[in-house]
Amino acid sequence: MEALRVVDLCKTYITNKRQNNVLKNVNFVIEQGEMAAVMGPSGSGKSTLLYSVSGMDRPTAGKVVLGGRVITELKEKELARVRLNEMGFIFQQMYMLKNLTVLDNILLPAYQSQNKERSRKEIDAYAAALMRRLGISEIAGNDVTEVSGGQLQRACICRSMMNRPQILFADEPTGALNRGSSEEVMKELNRLNEDGATIMLVTHDLKVAAKCSRILYIVDGNIKGELPLGKLSFSAGTGDGKEEREQEAAGIEKLLRERERRLNSWLIEMGW
């Protein structure tokens, strides 16, 4: 079942009376429960595509269909409600309000939502459950300047999930993190995806992309190719015995290396 459909999407900027066609008739579909990565060289239109698809920027032409509704035809107030209630966003720069605690930042989108079906008590309980799941319960009362980058990005993931969005959009979600924190964040995104979350992310990192189920490669504003890798499961490593868990973890590492090699070969073919 389709989560998102993009049809003949174009984005043009006018700079000094010169026309710059950043996106040129882009077409693709993301299925429900898919985790798709957009890759491409610098300046290829990756972030512009993400912003245009998610309604953060208006495309010049074409349409975006989310859950059967053409969101590119919505007025600004309607589109803002869709972004708040039906989409989640994770960015490279971890934007959080410095005058609020980590927990208050996570709660804010749900408190701002006009969804009257959930009480404050239910919202608070859901935030606490998300923080437990992502292993950051202990920083709930901290200021955003008092936690590590990996912890803060996991808090951003919690915030993005507060309104149970139809789809998560992530722009270089690990770009500002070291390798260890990056792997932690990607493991959490994979677990969310295993649980049914639909995710579209932009990345230049081969290790990040290899954890996605499909890669879209964009060059000069056009999708030039796609590579299906299949869904990756992180539910392994949960065996009863230590030896069994270690074997399962080793199996995941071997699979990841194989996916990375396959992706690297394909990227070279695409002119990466």
* CB distance 223 to 28 below 8 Å: yes
Q: Which 3-state string (H, E, C) describes 99-142?
A: CCEHHHHHHHHHHHCCCCCCCHHHHHHHHHHHHHHCCCHHHCCC
Question: For the chain, what is the domain count?
Answer: 1
pTM of the model: 0.90
In the chain, the percentage of residues whose pLDDT exceeds 90 is: 75
Range of the domain at 8: 2-270
**251 CB-near residues (< 8 Å, 6+ apart):** 236
Hey, how many other C-beta atoms are within 10 angstroms of the C-beta on 187? 13
Q: What is the CATH number of the domain that holds 50?
A: 3.40.50.300
**157 CB-near residues (< 8 Å, 6+ apart):** 90, 134, 185, 188, 189, 192
Query: What values do phi and psi take at 229, rounded to 5?
Result: -110, -20
pLDDT tens digits along 118-171: 899 999 999 999 999 999 999 999 999 999 999 999 999 999 999 999 999 999
* CB distance 182 to 175 below 8 Å: no
pLDDT band at 248 (very low <50, low <70, confident <90, very high): confident
Whether 239 has a pLDDT exceeding 60, the answer reads: no
